[in-house]
Amino acid sequence: MTAQPMTSPGARPPGRNSFRLEGPSIALDPRIHAFRPDIADLALAGQVFATHYVKPETWRCVGPSVMVRRSPEKTDEAISQLLLGEEFAVLDVGGEWAWGFCRHDHYVGYVPSAALGRGGPTPTHVIATPLALIFDNPDIKSGITGRLPMGARVAAMETNEEGFIRTARGWLHPRHIMPSGEARADPVAIAEQLTGAPYLWGGRAGDGLDCSGLVQLSLGLCGIFAPRDSDQQAAALGKQVAAGDLRRGDLVFFPGHVGLMADGERLIHASAHWMRVAVEPLADVVALLSTERDPPTPIVKRL
C-alpha cells in the first residue's frame, strides 16, 4: 500500500498534508501507532488511512509528572505517565489537550497541553532515587522547594564543588541523580529501592507505578529499553527459560502482570492486591492469582 500526496486545491489545516492511499489499510497496534480517523502520524501514511497526516512536533513535560490518558477527559483511564523532561510528540492540540505519543516508548495518548512546553534545554541528568528533594541552595540544611520522582529528567545549569547541580527548579543533591548517559548495573537493585512505593495504574515513576511501569523504569535506568505494557515486554525482552531455573533479574510474566525475581524464590512487583511494590515468594503470587482466574503458567524471560 502506498500513499500519494493530494494535489487538488482546498482548505487544509496548517501544518497538515493530505494523502490518497492505494491498497488496503493494515492492522496496527493503536497503543504505539498514532492514528485516528481524522489524523495520523505522517510516518504511518503508507500504512493506515486518515483524513490528514501530520509530522509530529516535539514538546517536553514541564511538570514533575503528568498522566497520559486514553481520551481527553480528566476522569478517563490513565494509560501511562510522562515525567519531567521527557519528550512528547504532539500531533494535535484541541482545547486543553494535546494528542500524540511519548517519545521514549511511542505510547499514544492525551496529555493536558498545560503540562507541556516547547523547546528548553536538553536534560543532562535523571533522578535515580525514589524521590529527590529540590533545595533552595546547595546545602542539605537549606529549604525544600519541591520533590521529583525517580525517572524525571533535568538540565544542569551549574555544578558546585560538592557535586550539587542547579536546575531551573533549584538544587539537587549528587546522590539523588545520575548523568543521562550513565547506566546502573542491576535492575533489581533499582526495583528494590522502590519497595513500598504506592501502586498507581498507569504510573511509571518513583512515587507511584504499575507492574509494567516498575519493570520499564528499573530496566531504563540500566540502559535497557522496555516497552510500556507487560504483553509488549514479554514479546520484546530476553530469552525464555524454564520456570524451574529462576535467577535474580529474571522477568516473570503472567496474563496482565509482570515482576522481577529478587532471587531464586522471591518476586518484586507492583501489586494491585497490596497496592504497593512488594517482595514476596513467587509461589504466593501464583496462589493469589489462582484465586482470581485459572492457575496461571508463568513465562520466564532472561535478559
pLDDT tens, N- to C-terminus, the chain (303 residues) = 444 443 333 444 445 555 555 555 568 999 999 999 999 999 999 899 999 999 999 999 999 999 999 999 999 999 999 999 999 999 999 999 999 999 999 999 999 999 999 988 999 999 999 999 999 999 999 999 999 999 999 999 999 999 999 999 999 999 999 999 999 999 999 999 999 999 999 999 999 999 999 999 999 999 999 999 999 999 999 999 998 899 999 999 999 999 999 999 999 999 999 999 999 999 999 999 998 878 888 999 999
User: Are 110 and 135 contained in the same domain?
Assistant: no
DSSP-derived 3-state class of residue 157: coil
DSSP-derived 3-state class of residue 217: helix
| Rounded Cα–Cα distance for residues 87 and 6 (Å) | 31
**Strands 239-241 and 299-302, sheet pairing:** antiparallel
- Give residue 18's pLDDT: 53
Q: Quote the number of domains for the chain.
A: 4
- Give residue 23's pLDDT: 58
β-pair partners for 159: 165
User: Are 172 and 192 contained in the same domain?
Assistant: no
Report the alpha-carbon angle 79-89-150, nearest 5.
55
User: Are 233 and 212 contained in the same domain?
Assistant: yes
User: Are 218 and 268 contained in the same domain?
Assistant: yes
Q: Quick check: 248 and 263 in contact, CB under 8 A?
A: yes
Residue with the three cell numbers 535474580:
248
| Rounded Cα–Cα distance for residues 185 and 175 (Å) | 16
User: Are 194 and 92 contained in the same domain?
Assistant: no
What end-to-end distance do the CA atoms of the chain give, in Å?
36
What stretch of H or E contains 60? strand 57-61
Boundary residue ending a domain (118, 151, 167): 118
User: Are 198 and 298 contained in the same domain?
Assistant: yes
| Rounded Cα–Cα distance for residues 138 and 166 (Å) | 8
User: Are 112 and 129 contained in the same domain?
Assistant: no
Look up the domain containing 272 and give its range. Answer: 187-302
User: Are 171 and 129 contained in the same domain?
Assistant: yes
| Rounded Cα–Cα distance for residues 55 and 92 (Å) | 10
User: Are 283 and 195 contained in the same domain?
Assistant: yes
DSSP-derived 3-state class of residue 246: coil
User: Are 162 and 246 contained in the same domain?
Assistant: no
Boundary residue ending a domain (118, 135, 166): 118
User: What's the gap between Cα 246 and its chain centre?
Assistant: 27
Residue 133 sits in a domain whose CATH number is 2.30.30.40
User: Are 246 and 194 contained in the same domain?
Assistant: yes
pTM: 0.90
DSSP secondary-structure letter at 188? H
**Strands 204-205 and 208-209, sheet pairing:** antiparallel
| Rounded Cα–Cα distance for residues 255 and 249 (Å) | 19
User: Are 197 and 297 contained in the same domain?
Assistant: yes
- Give residue 3's pLDDT: 44
DSSP-derived 3-state class of residue 212: helix
